[in-house]
Amino acid sequence: MYDSSQAGSRGAMNAFEPVEIDPYMWEIPRTGAMRVPGRIFADRQLMEKAREEKAMEQVANVACLPGIQTASLAMPDIHWGYGFAIGGVAAFRMDDGVISPGGVGYDIACGVRLIRSDLVAAEVADTIPALVHELSRMLPAGVGRGGKIRLGPREMDRLLVEGVPWTVSQGFGWARDLEVIEDGGLMEGADPARVSNRARERGHVQQGTLGAGNHFAEVQVVQHIFDADAAAAFGVFEGQLCVMLHSGSRGLGHQICTDFVKVMGGAAARAGISLPDRQLACTPIDSPEGRDYFAAMACAVNFARSNRQVMTHMVRESFEYVFKMPAERLGLDLVYDVAHNVAKFEEHEVDGAKQLLCVHRKGATRSFPAGHPDIPARYRAAGQPVIVPGDMGTASYLLKGSAAAMRRSFGSTCHGAGRVMGRRAAKRMIQGHELRQRLEAQGITVRAGSSKGLAEEAPEAYKDVNRVVEICHQAGLSYKVAKLRPVGVIKG
């Protein structure tokens, strides 16, 4: 029997066995303080990994939170995180549910965007090393690394409130980019007054920067098309040269999470919420602390999307410099931008009735189906583009959302391959210079801020992205459209 009083320790959850519901979904039965069951989308091999690192304990802990609906969910890239497992999804009622910084993560609105081109990779293969070099010169990468853009207090406030539309108005990108960014690049409800001075200090020089960890810019080639109609709708073709960006809200978002984790512990106690793990610090959605956190989080969402927008502008400038041709003629259009660390107010069907819910996705991506009103008009017949980065030595994927995801996972799917090895363990096992040589032997040009940082993100540190994506495809959470392989990698 699950003893909820012990749930804060990593070894507390060994008394249960998840039940296999179908080949790609397992259920943790509701027991003890759990209000709903836990459900994990995985095959047998990935379930063993989740069991080994106790990530299932975190899924069960989240199921204890007030107002949670249907189930505490986890995607196939599940691994241990702060409070919520990375790969976790949970939806809460508005009247008695909670909002939790641990259910969003420290890198608020970390996400991915894909930029297509009209270039055929094989025809410009000799130019790719020069392109990677120029991109590495233009995109600052590394821990705490700032860029050339300095935001004053008024500019910061406008950015935090107005998001990517303001950034585009300042000359960073094209107006049509806004059509293919989640929420049009603007999360409503942001209030800069809820952002601390320390968060502002950390963020004011970090627009247009990659950061470190698993963030990257990759030059990629479309290796295979699975769904010709969706690929055509997304502007993607076999052999095409593309660029994928993965970054977030940098120091600003990290500080906002840090600030509110401190606030939430006391708020949970005042609201009479008993937590199975103190890292699940939370508060009622409509409490003063809940409203303040959402307003600050929305600022970080706008900051993160703007960060990727500025980098998109820099990618276009890099292509123009290398290919001596305007970005418009090169066809450097944004395919889509989607975040995977966020809490959003969305309408979903629960027990046959539509409800407005607060959906937390931590290391999980929206996967809305064809016809959904939140999908850009140009993609509405195909479904929402879903971008799933892999490790830098194998592949990434472009998928599309599904109706099944709305029924099974609150319109959510995986966000990447998911780690199987911690960063310290990866550095002990793998030498950065050897990894660089191996990648370059595969025809992948590498630019990295440090050998240690490169080693942390070695392919061996991640699950097999092909397996993770196949599970999502078979489970109906998202469907494969195209597979992309890296030919150039820029990391911090």
The 10s digit of each residue's pLDDT in 121-171 is: 999 999 999 999 999 999 987 776 667 788 999 999 999 999 999 999 999
Q: Which of 3-7, 120-124, 234-238, 251-255 shows the lowest per-residue confidence on average (mean pLDDT)?
A: 3-7
CB atoms within 10 A of CB 279: 18
| Per-residue pLDDT, 434 | 84
Query: Encoding tokens for residue 91?
Result: 């939806």
Encode 225-240: b = buried (16+ Cβ within 10 Å), e = exposed: bbbeebbebbbbeeeb
Query: Encoding tokens for residue 74?
Result: 């986890």
Kindly list the catalytic residues. Answer: 415
Residues near 14 by beta carbon (within 8 Å), at least 6 away in sequence: none
Task: Please give the model's pTM, rounded to 2 decimal places.
Answer: 0.93
Residues near 368 by beta carbon (within 8 Å), at least 6 away in sequence: 374, 375, 383, 384, 401, 405, 406, 411
Of the two residues 469 and 8, the one the predictor is more confident about is 469
| Per-residue pLDDT, 10 | 37
The winner for highest mean pLDDT among 45-59, 136-150, 234-248 is 234-248
Q: In 3D, which of 32, 333, 337, 26 has the Cα closest to residue 181? A: 337
Q: In 3D, which of 308, 188, 186 has the Cα closest to residue 243? A: 308
User: Residue 328 class from Cβ within 10 Å (0-12 exposed, 13-18 middle, 19+ buried)?
Assistant: exposed
CA distances from 222 to 175, 228, 275, 397 (A): 26, 13, 46, 9
Confidence band, pLDDT 50/70/90 cuts, at residue 173: very high
Residues near 426 by beta carbon (within 8 Å), at least 6 away in sequence: 455, 456, 457, 458, 460, 461
CA distances from 82 to 272, 283, 352, 469 (A): 22, 17, 33, 24
| Per-residue pLDDT, 463 | 82
Beta bridge partners of 350: 353
Distance from C-alpha of 92 to C-alpha of 30, rounded to nearest angstrom = 17
Query: Encoding tokens for residue 231?
Result: 């690929």
Query: Encoding tokens for residue 57?
Result: 């304990």
**Residue 382: is its pLDDT beyond 50?**
yes
| Per-residue pLDDT, 145 | 66
Element at 132 (helix H, strand E)? helix 128-138
Query: Encoding tokens for residue 179?
Result: 């059509």
Encode 68-81: b = buried (16+ Cβ within 10 Å), e = exposed: bbbbbbbbbbbbbb
Matching residue, tokens 């310290």:
424
Query: Encoding tokens for residue 112?
Result: 């991915």
Confidence band, pLDDT 50/70/90 cuts, at residue 13: very low
Mean pLDDT of the chain: 92
What whole-number percentage of the chain has pLDDT above 90? 80
| Per-residue pLDDT, 182 | 96
Q: In 3D, which of 320, 309, 334 has the Cα closest to residue 176? A: 334
Q: Which of 15-24, 29-38, 144-153 shows the lowest per-residue confidence on average (mean pLDDT)?
A: 144-153
